Amino acid sequence: MNFETVIGLEVHIELATKTKIFCGCKNEFGGEPNTHCCPVCIGMPGVLPVLNEKVVEFAAKAGLALDCKIANFSKMDRKGYYYPDLPKAYQISQFDLPICIGGHVDYKDGDIEKRVNITRIHMEEDAGKLLHEAGTGTAVDYNRCGVPLIEIVTEPDLRSADEAKAFLETLKSIIQYTGVSDCKMQEGSLRCDVNVSVREVGSTVLGTRTEMKNLNSFSAVHGAIEAESARQIALITDGGKVTQETRRFDDIKGKSYAMRGKEEAHDYRYFPDPDLVPITITDEQIALYRDSLPELPTAKKQRFIDELGLPEYDADLLTGERAIADFFEASIAAYNEPKKTSNFIMTDLLRLLKENGVEPDDNPVQPIQLAQTLKLIDDGKINVTVGKTVFEDVFKTGDDPSSIVEAKGLTQINDTVELSGMIKQIIADNPKPVADFKGGNKKALTFFVGQVMKATKGKANPKVVNEIVQEELKNA
């Protein structure tokens, strides 16, 4: 039997509002445990939650960016759920009337354009965090309680771990562009529940699914899907049956374990939260939200191709992360050389970020500093090779390119008299390569250029050196 894997995702994204969803406490990652809390977010009886308007705005903007329909009328519901990090013993979420419905994400799996449909997006509150400390037991930090979340639920449209990863990368990029979340996975701002089933190729009915909750890296999502689909296929091939359940995926072992039977919606005893009024959003308000959205990655990419004349490859790489696209645009605003800027970002900046484990958001280089580096090269003050080391210094020290060039004496040597003298000497000292050159070995030319660059510590203008070496070799 040939199997196909079917995947649906529930993506939780923390919204970057200043305050929490139902109280005025700071919404900020980290902080001393239990310092961003108040009676409302730690669930004291008798307190009254008030919905933060920014949460509605951010959720609607995320929905608009994903082509969802924004509901004119929605409401908050209580989801009964006991867990030590959820002190009210229920979570305020949305059940039958979520804020966004429908929508889709177009993404590329390799070279192939694919689409994932969005079922819904709802608003809800995050739970706290349990800290399991060896020896001392488990502590709880309520700082995260009441941090606003949106949950994006997809249709079961994905067919492989690779598709899921590619879709998530696109989704993350779009949400980052809207500015409603930083999507920092290492801080838990984007977490994913993965639902997996398998079925015979050609079948149109869905198989029984299992769910793995709270995966916080794309590689964990990828690993969980591969491992779980292999497990289900082996089970069915052996004559067994998949049980609908929640499983825990161990990223390090690459295996999942049964945790508990899957609960059904009716187990949660959803009911409208009597403390919160329903949410009405007018069409005019929705139009305002739509107008306030920035240019999104697909549109930006197309503009980079059409208006700046960049190759599709460059435009793709530059627009993948908003921080990189913003950096690129600010840099060309200071020095309008799109292709040179793009080359430098792709080969040097992205490499330095990767090598140093720095996120694009924390890029230490100012856009103007890249513009200045490129201008120093174009003005003949430094050559390209030196430009690359100067840029590396800018990255490490934050100093301006011109001060680095000055402090390190890296100014390009363009002086033909000085270079001619040096070249004559090198030619005189190396009779063998001269003879080679005369004998028709053009590679000997590279040898002499190399010697000059070495003697000048890479500072000579390579174009000038090349011309003089050719000239002098003719005369030698």
Residues at the interface with ligand ADP (CB under 6 A)? 6-10, 153-156, 195-197, 206-207, 209, 211
Q: Which residues 6+ apart lie within 8 Å of 253 measured at CB?
A: none
- When asked if residue 38 is in the footprint of Zn ion (CB under 5 A), the reply is yes
Residue nearest to ligand ADP (CB): 8
Closest contact distance (angstroms) between CB of 99 and ligand ADP is 16
Nearest residue (CB) to ligand ADP, 191 versus 209: 209
Nearest residue (CB) to Mg ion, 210 versus 319: 210
What are the distances in angstroms from CA 70 to CA 25, 181, 227, 400, 413?
A: 27, 19, 36, 47, 63
Q: Which does 383 bind (CB under 5 to 8 A by kind): Zn ion, ligand ADP, Mg ion, none?
A: none
Q: Which does 38 bind (CB under 5 to 8 A by kind): Mg ion, ligand ADP, Zn ion, none?
A: Zn ion
Rounded distance between C-alpha atoms, residue 388 and residue 382, angstroms? 10
Q: Which does 451 bind (CB under 5 to 8 A by kind): ligand ADP, Mg ion, Zn ion, none?
A: none
Rounded distance between C-alpha atoms, residue 108 and residue 129, angstroms? 35
- When asked if residue 21 is in the footprint of Zn ion (CB under 5 A), the reply is no
Nearest residue (CB) to Mg ion, 10 versus 155: 10
Q: Which does 156 bind (CB under 5 to 8 A by kind): ligand ADP, Zn ion, Mg ion, none?
A: ligand ADP
What are the distances in angstroms from CA 81 to CA 41, 48, 194, 366, 375?
A: 16, 19, 20, 47, 60
Nearest residue (CB) to Zn ion, 20 versus 172: 20
- What DSSP element (H or E) covers 473? helix 462-475
- When asked if residue 92 is in the footprint of Zn ion (CB under 5 A), the reply is no
Nearest residue (CB) to ligand ADP, 93 versus 178: 93
Closest contact distance (angstroms) between CB of 113 and ligand ADP is 21
CA atoms within 13 A on the CB side of 327: 25
Strand pairing class (100-101; 112-125): antiparallel
Q: Which does 41 bind (CB under 5 to 8 A by kind): ligand ADP, Mg ion, Zn ion, none?
A: Zn ion
Closest contact distance (angstroms) between CB of 151 and ligand ADP is 9
Angle at which helix 297-308 crosses helix 312-319, to 10 degrees, equals 140
Q: Which stretch binds Zn ion (CB under 5 A): 20-28, 64-72, 236-244, 408-416?
A: 20-28
Place of tokens 């490859």: 313
Closest contact distance (angstroms) between CB of 4 and ligand ADP is 11
User: DSSP label at 340?
Assistant: H
Beta-bridge mates of residue 196: 7, 210
Contact between 97 and 146 (Cβ < 8 Å)? no
Please give the backbone phi and psi of residue 100, each rounded to the nearest 5 degrees, phi first: -130, 140
Please report, as residue ranges, which positions from 348 to 367 form the binding site for Mg ion (by CB under 5 A). none
- Decide: residue 132, CB within 10 A, 0-12 exposed, 13-18 middle, 19+ buried: exposed
User: Considering CB under 5 A, how many residues would be counted as binding Zn ion?
Assistant: 5
User: Considering CB under 5 A, how many residues would be counted as binding Mg ion?
Assistant: 2
Nearest residue (CB) to ligand ADP, 207 versus 223: 207
3-state class (DSSP) for residue 379 = coil
Closest contact distance (angstroms) between CB of 177 and ligand ADP is 23
Joined together, the tokens standing for residue 266 give 């009716």
Closest contact distance (angstroms) between CB of 198 and ligand ADP is 8
Q: Which stretch binds Zn ion (CB under 5 A): 35-43, 245-253, 392-400, 448-456?
A: 35-43
- When asked if residue 41 is in the footprint of Zn ion (CB under 5 A), the reply is yes
Nearest residue (CB) to Mg ion, 216 versus 366: 216
Contact between 178 and 171 (Cβ < 8 Å)? no
- When asked if residue 334 is in the footprint of Zn ion (CB under 5 A), the reply is no
Query: What's the chain's length in residues?
Result: 476
Closest contact distance (angstroms) between CB of 282 and ligand ADP is 28
Contact between 460 and 413 (Cβ < 8 Å)? yes
What are the distances in angstroms from CA 237 to CA 200, 227, 241, 247, 357?
A: 11, 15, 9, 20, 43
Nearest residue (CB) to Zn ion, 21 versus 196: 21
Q: Which stretch binds Zn ion (CB under 5 A): 24-32, 54-62, 311-319, 332-340?
A: 24-32
Q: Which does 170 bind (CB under 5 to 8 A by kind): Mg ion, ligand ADP, Zn ion, none?
A: none
Closest contact distance (angstroms) between CB of 26 and Zn ion is 9
- What DSSP element (H or E) covers 404? helix 401-407
Place of tokens 């203008």: 461
Q: Which residues 6+ apart lie within 8 Å of 366 measured at CB?
A: none
Nearest residue (CB) to Zn ion, 38 versus 334: 38
Amino acid at site 470: Q
Q: Which does 353 bind (CB under 5 to 8 A by kind): Zn ion, ligand ADP, Mg ion, none?
A: none
Of the candidate residues 23, 123, 174, 242, the single one contacting Zn ion (CB under 5 A): 23
- Decide: residue 338, CB within 10 A, 0-12 exposed, 13-18 middle, 19+ buried: buried
Contact positions vs Zn ion (CB under 5 A): 23, 25, 38, 40-41
Contact positions vs Mg ion (CB under 5 A): 10, 193
